Structure 1
Amino acid sequence: MAFDRRLSEAAKPGRDPIMIQLRLSWWRDRLGESAEQWPLGEPLLALLAFWDDERAALSSIVDGWEAQVVGEDGGTALDRARCDAIIALARMAGQGENPVVEQAAADWAEGRSLSGVRLPRALRPLSLLDHFSNAGDLPPWRVMLGAMRKGWFGR
């Protein structure tokens, strides 16, 4: 998510599209290298080093942002890339191919809530993030009780 946020900052509306593409190409070039070759001065790359085997999922997020900036697809490439990144995260968490995770990833990437979806224990932090992002104007005690329910039961 931090990576997606960084790319969204690079692709802010109003910036020159050529400059956006240059910034995005830097990330694409880094993701084309193994994590051992990444520069040490970029803290986000250090956090992403464990994605070394799943760099293609991160690279597709860069491509999705570029497609959105250029206006080629109306944002569908970015939604699909986010979905693929969540599925890659599930693989790294030992979940393999899981239809529940795939559907939840598609829903979340397209901005739909995960309420009612029971994710595997290894992916429950995604349920918590979804809960907090959709809490709105709920009283704090309800937000906390909902977070406890999501953390314990996964839904």
Structure 2
Amino acid sequence: MSKLPSKPAETLDITRKIALAYAPAAARPAWLALFMLEQKLAETARPGREPLMVQLRLSWWRDRLNESGEAWPVSEPALASLRAWKGQHGRLVELVDSWEARAMGEEQEDEFALALTNAYLALAEVLDVRDKGAIAAHARYLAGEATSGGRRGALPRAMRPLAVLCAMKDSSDNPGKGRRLVDFLRVVRAGTLGF
């Protein structure tokens, strides 16, 4: 049996760790759960894996998200963290389906962008955030549906990690020599002001 990490956030990649740092304490568990699931799905559907194994593993995730959290195995940290979604974890099945279609070469990028956008909108509902327009604009940009940073509107405090992810995407899409300070300031601004 695998041992649960004492600090689940330590399992995240550096981008998600930075974004998570800007989540308010009350919102952090729900953000952590989504980040852990996203990372698990990306690892499962990683290119080069046997397609049948990818389908089986993603099917396992789909089945877990379609059942009550009380039935989940205690040894899976991503599932344990999803309890913070207050029973709304079923709304993430579309994300699993999207990763499966993407891994099998059956899905267009706009469908993946829609699934990711819906996952962030579901998170907003879990966090009781009402402003869906700015959230959808940020999520579409992050998912690659929108091609430029542009004006997406400010996000409320509970959704600031999404603004941070977009700021980091802006930086990676526009690399340049000597831009570290500008990129750092962009991330800090996104985390503190929401845009």
Superposition TM-score, scaled by structure 1 size:
0.85
Name the residue aligned to 1:104: 138
Name the residue aligned to 2:160: 124
Residue identity matched to 2:65: L
* Secondary structure, aligned partner of 2:108: coil
Map 1:1-155 onto structure 2 (within 5 A): 1-96=35-130, 98-110=132-144, 112=146, 114=149, 116-117=151-152, 118-136=154-172, 137=176, 139-155=179-195
Unaligned runs of 5+ in 1: none
* Secondary structure, aligned partner of 1:20: helix
What percentage of residue pairs aligned between the two structures are identical?
37
CA–CA distance in structure 1, aligned partners of residues 40 and 92 of structure 2: 12
Return the offset for 1:37.
1.4
Higher relative contact order (CA 8 A, sep 6+): 2
Please say if residues 114 and 127 of structure 1, whose CA atoms lie closer than 8 Å, have aligned partners that are also in contact. Answer: no
Q: May I ask how many residue pairs the two structures share in their alignment?
A: 155
Which segment is superposed worse, 63-72 or 39-48?
A: 63-72
Residue identity matched to 1:152: T
Q: Residues 15 and 151 from structure 1, CA distance in 2 versus in 1: closer, same or farther, beyond 3 angstroms?
A: closer
Q: Residues 125 and 14 from structure 1, CA distance in 2 versus in 1: closer, same or farther, beyond 3 angstroms?
A: closer
Q: Residues 37 and 150 from structure 1, CA distance in 2 versus in 1: closer, same or farther, beyond 3 angstroms?
A: same
Residue identity matched to 2:80: A
Return the offset for 1:64.
0.5
CA–CA distance in structure 2, aligned partners of residues 145 and 67 of structure 1: 37
